[in-house]
Amino acid sequence: REQKECPPDSELLGRNTWAFLHTMAAYYPEKPTPEQQHNMKKFIALLSMFYPCHKCASHLREDLKTNIPETCSNIKLSDWFCKLHNSVNVRLGKVEFDCSKVLERWRDGWKDGTCD
């Protein structure tokens, strides 16, 4: 029988969106062209306009007024998203993630081989 899945709440939507955003940042070019950098900034601005959790989108728009995305490499962009995610973690009372491990979490797998 067909399984009836329900629409995502803000938690499931958030988990899935973070997985996408951190993975996208990890696989962003090491040396992006000016056009790629421009488009990534635009993408983030558009995300803040259309993200379908209105409270979250509004927080993001507020944040982006002073916190400019760092788009000059995959490492910089990953670090920027990690810090952005940590600011949400703090707001929600969650533990902060160690941003030195962001590429292990989202691209390379843990150094101890857990994901091999």
Closest to ligand FAD by CB, 33 or 100: 100
Any idea what DSSP says for residue 104? I
DSSP 13-58: HHHHHHHHHHHHHHTS-SS--HHHHHHHHHHHHHHHHH-S-HHHHH
CA neighbor of 40 nearest in space, from 54, 52, 25 = 25
Q: Report the residue number, 33 or 53, with the smaller CB distance to ligand FAD.
A: 53
CB of 51 to ligand FAD, least distance (A): 6
Rounded to a whole number of angstroms, the minimum distance from the CB of residue 7 to ligand FAD is 15
Residue type present at position 39: N
Coil, helix or strand for 93? coil
| Chain position whose Cβ is nearest to ligand FAD | 14
Residues lying near ligand FAD in the complex (CB under 6 A): 10-11, 14-15, 17-18, 22, 51, 55-56, 59-60, 82, 85-86, 88-89, 92, 94, 97, 102, 105
Q: Which is nearer to ligand FAD, 35 or 106 (CB)?
A: 106
Nearer to ligand FAD, 2 or 112 (CB): 112
For the bound state, the minimum distance from the C-beta of residue 33 to ligand FAD, rounded and expressed in Å, comes to 25
Question: Distance between CA 103 and CA 26 in Å, rounded?
Answer: 6
